[in-house]
A = this chain, B = another copy of it.
């Protein structure tokens, strides 16, 4: 256990750590602007599909299945790079978005800021 923990942190082996629900966190950044576009979850299937296709796939917790982001809208996310954190339970995907990342039409899902307890629009 300790050995694998050290391997995860210091080694060059990719040993993704899925939680008790079989998920890890995935943060999508625009590869050019470095703006955070969205946050989602991946299971082993979504990670494999992402690695195989170069297009971001997630696990939809609400629908309980594989979710190719942009499958309907066409606003897919082309993955340029994948960063991995210390304990390998979170990924940063540096992506080239084909269009707005948010289903609301916003460039980023993070289009509001909390100010004195109230949400205010931000420019993204």
Give chain A's interface residues, CB within 8 Å of chain B: 9-14, 19, 25, 27, 29, 34, 36, 38-39, 61, 81-87, 90, 92, 102-104, 106, 109-114, 117-120, 122
Q: Specify which of B9, B34, B114 is in contact with A14 (CB 8 Å cutoff).
A: B114
In the complex the two chains form, is B113's CB within 8 Å of A85's CB? no
User: A9 to chain B: which residues have CB within 8 Å?
Assistant: 104
Which residues of the partner chain B approach A109 to less than 8 Å between Cβ atoms? 85-87, 90
The count of identical subunits is 2
Of B10, B14, B25, the residue contacting A39 (CB under 8 A) is B25
Q: How far is the CA of A54 from the CA of B83 in the complex (A)?
A: 28
Report the nearest B residue to A106, measured CB to CB.
B86
With A25-B25, A39-B27 as contacts: A84 and B119 at CB distance below 8 Å: yes
Given known A9-B104, A85-B39, contact A14–B119 (CB-CB < 8 A): yes
A117 neighbours in B (Cβ, 8 Å): 14
Q: A14-B119, A36-B92, A86-B103 are in contact. List 15 more A-B contacts (CB 8 A).
A: A12-B120, A13-B119, A14-B118, A25-B39, A29-B36, A34-B34, A38-B90, A82-B113, A83-B112, A84-B112, A84-B114, A86-B104, A86-B109, A90-B109, A92-B110
